[in-house]
Amino acid sequence: ARIASTPMGKIWRLGGTMTVTQGSTKINNRKLSAMVRNVKKYYPEYNISSAQSLKPWVGLRPLSADGLPYIGPFKKYPNLIAATGHAMLGVSLAPVTGHLVSNIISEEGSDYDMKLLSPDRFN
């Protein structure tokens, strides 16, 4: 398992796996064990036993079946604009998503084929 090491003030956050599920927040112990092994490998000076009492947690990231976010109005509710399903790219794609949503609301149109991002594209 790959790990992401993020210093956050006095806290050191480790993360690193993604599992596509139907919304399960169950911890995958095999992946957690692999992450612990990699901490030992990449940070041999760190005493991993001091972290054994910490409780691992799972965060859910909404994503679509094709990997593209849902951005645009729903056919059934045209005044409801979707802007979701960005998976782990939400912060990175926030500026362009905001721009697209702004264009939709103000009816300015877009240079992009918005059908590719339609929340109804699988219906």
Q: Which of 36-40, 104-108, 111-115 has the highest mean pLDDT?
A: 104-108
pLDDT at 11: 85
Inside any domain, residue 79: yes
Residue entry with tokens 């979701």:
84
Measure the CA–CA gap between 114 and 1, rounded to whole angstroms: 36
Q: What is the domain extent for residue 11?
A: 4-51
pLDDT digits (tens, 9 = 90+) for 65-99: 899 999 999 999 999 999 999 988 899 999 999 99
Inside any domain, residue 33: yes
Inside any domain, residue 95: yes
Shared domain for 82 and 112, answered yes or no, is yes
Inside any domain, residue 58: no
Q: How many domains does the chain have?
A: 2
The helix or strand, by DSSP H or E, that contains position 71, with its residue range, turns out to be strand 70-73
3-state secondary structure 49-68: HHHCCCCCCCCCCCECCCCC
Inside any domain, residue 65: no
Shared domain for 12 and 43, answered yes or no, is yes
Contacts of 118 (CB under 8 A, 6+ apart): 70, 72
pLDDT digits (tens, 9 = 90+) for 31-74: 888 888 888 899 899 888 877 777 888 888 888 989 999 999 99
Q: Is the pLDDT of residue 116 over 90?
A: yes
Inside any domain, residue 23: yes
pTM of the predicted protein model: 0.71
Inside any domain, residue 32: yes
Measure the CA–CA gap between 116 and 95, rounded to whole angstroms: 18
Shared domain for 105 and 76, answered yes or no, is yes
